[in-house]
Amino acid sequence: MEARGTIILFDGVCNLCNGLVRFLIPRDPEGRLLFASQQSEAGQQLLKKWELSPELLNSVVVLEGGSVYTKSTAALKIARNMHGLWPVLYALILVPRFIRDPLYDWVARNRYRWFGTTEACLYPSPELKQRFLE
């Protein structure tokens, strides 16, 4: 399931997270980024396989090269995989996590209030279905 790219596990009922997925897809024309909501069967299987806690709904999770990344590190790994100037943001990896992660946690704690939620997880169009793990 993980062989063909970087996997992004996201909170499927979070409007901010769904917006991130919609933002990333056109900026990854090679299809290197694959997606699964954490609530989906594939997402649950991956969380279990990597022995990750269900509390990670407060974090985007990136599975890449046999490693797991969460919080700000995951966000920076995503930026590194994008086209354009976005990979420049990866330089922020030099900022220690104890500085980066509290900002990430603050946004994560408030994302439902600021951006809202949806009743159902993002459902891809037929042409994008291969980008989502089932």
Global pTM reads 0.88
Give Cα separations from 97 to 10, 92, 104, 125 (angstroms).
Answer: 20, 10, 10, 36
For residue 62 the two structure tokens come to 């990136």
Q: How far apart are CA 128 and CA 122, in angstroms?
A: 11
Q: What's the rounded Cα separation, in Å, for the pair 107 and 35? A: 21
Given the DSSP bridges, would you call strands 6-10 and 33-37 parallel, antiparallel or unpaired?
A: parallel
The pLDDT tens digits along the chain (134 residues) read 444 689 999 998 899 999 999 999 988 888 889 999 998 999 999 999 998 887 667 889 999 999 999 999 999 999 998 888 999 999 999 999 999 999 999 999 999 999 998 876 666 666 677 888 87
Nearest-angstrom CA–CA distance, 47 and 103: 24
Per-residue pLDDT, 130: 81
- Residues 6 or more apart whose CB falls under 8 angstroms from that of 63 comprise 2, 6, 7, 9, 46, 50, 69
Spell out the residues 6+ positions from residue 56 whose beta carbon is closer than 8 angstroms to its own: 9, 38, 47, 70
Residue-wise over 56-67: b if at least 16 C-beta within 10 A, else e?
A: bbbbbbbbbeee
Listed residue (92, 51, 50, 46) closest to 72, CA to CA: 92
Domain spans in the chain, listed from the N-terminal domain onward: 6-131
